Amino acid sequence: MQFQFETTTITVNIANRDALLAAVGKRFALQDGFALATINLDHLVKLRDSPAFRAIYAAQDFVVADGNPIVWLSRLARRPVELVPGSDMVIPLVQLAVQSGRRVALIGSTETALATAATALESQIHGLKIAITIAPPMGFEPQGPAAQAILARLTTAGIGFCVIALPAGKQEALAALGRSLAPHIGFASFGAGLDFLAGSQTRAPRWMRALAMEWLWRALCDPRRMLPRYIACFAILPSQIVAALKLR
C-alpha cells in the first residue's frame, strides 16, 4: 500500500505480523539495525503538512499499518495489508530480541513509566533484563546533540534493540538518526506502547478494539488533545479514499 505526498511515496511494506517478525528476525540474525514506523491517519496528516516528516518517514526501513483506516484504504486500493498495532508488538519483538541475544533499551516519557514498563516486560519475557531506560528532557530535539548523546550511549552499552515511545515525529526522527549513527541497533517507534504496559495510559477494552472503536475510547479519555487530532484525521479521509481508488 502506497501513499503519495508531492514527490515522496510512503509504502506500507510489511503486510502483517508474521512478515514483521520474519523481517526483524533476519536483521537480528545479521547483527543489522532497522527503523520501524507504525503509520496511522494522524501520521498521514503530518505527512501531508510536513516535508521534514516525509523525509524522516522515508528513512524508515519497515512501515506497518497501525490503524484500521489504513487497512481499509489498502483494501480499497486492492493492495491489502493487515492491522499490526505497535502496542501489540512490543512484547513479541522484545521477546525476539532476547531470543536473538540482543540487549534491549527503552526510551519514553518518564523514568517512572519506563521503570514500570521494564518490570512488566521482565515479568513476561524469560531471560529479559532491560539494559537501559532513558526519558529525554522537555524540549528534546530528536536530531540534535542530546539525541546524538543518547545514540552514543546505546552504542557503548551494546544495545541491539530499542523501543521508542515518544510523540509522533520525535520518535521516528530519533530512529532515522539512529540508522546513520547507530546502524547496528533496531529501533521501533511505538508511541503509547510502553505507557500501556506501565499503566500510565489505559488502552481501550478488547471489544472496542475488535469493533475498530479504539479511537473513540482515546477521544473520551483525553478529549482536549484527541478530538482536534481526530477531526483532522477525518478531514483527510475523503482525499485518501480517492487516492486509494486510483491505485486499483
pLDDT tens track, the chain, 248 positions: 999 888 889 999 999 999 999 999 999 999 999 999 999 999 999 999 999 999 999 999 999 999 899 999 999 999 999 999 988 999 999 999 999 999 999 998 889 999 999 999 999 999 999 999 999 988 899 989 999 999 999 999 999 999 999 998 999 999 999 999 999 999 999 987 788 777 767 677 787 777 677 777 777 777 787 778 878 888 899 999 999 998 88
> Residue 223 domain-assigned?
no
Residue 209 lies in a domain: no
Structural domain contains residue 220 = no
In this prediction, residue 192 carries a pLDDT of 77
pLDDT given at position 22: 97
Pairing status of strand 2-5 against strand 8-11: antiparallel
Enumerate residues 6+ apart whose C-beta is below 8 A from 89.
17, 20, 64, 188, 190, 193
Question: Which cell numbers hold the place of 62?
Answer: 519497515
Task: Determine, yes or no, domain membership for 214.
Answer: no
What is the pLDDT at residue 221?
A: 73
Cell reading at 186 = 533496531
* SS3 category, 71: helix
Q: Write out the H or E segment, with its range, that includes residue 119.
A: helix 111-124
In what order do the strands lie in the sheet containing 186-189? 62-65, 34-39, 186-189, 159-164, 103-107, 132-134
**Contact yes or no for 45/56 (Cβ under 8 A):** no
How many angstroms separate the CA atoms of 192 and 165, rounded?
Answer: 6
Q: Give residue 17's pLDDT.
A: 97
pLDDT number for residue 207: 75
Distance of CA 183 to the CA centre of its chain: 18
Please count the residues of the chain.
248
- pLDDT the model gives residue 231: 85
pLDDT at 72: 94
| Boundaries of domain holding 162 | 2-203
> What is the reported pLDDT for 197?
77
Confidence (pLDDT) at 154: 97
**Is position 246 within any domain?**
no
94 located within any domain:
yes
What value, to the nearest 5°, has the Cα angle with vertex 207 and ends 202 and 208? 60
Domain for residue 122, yes or no?
A: yes
- This prediction's pTM: 0.90
The number of distinct structural domains making up the chain is 1
Return the pLDDT at 208: 74
In a domain, 221, yes or no: no
What's CA 135's distance to the chain center, in Å?
17
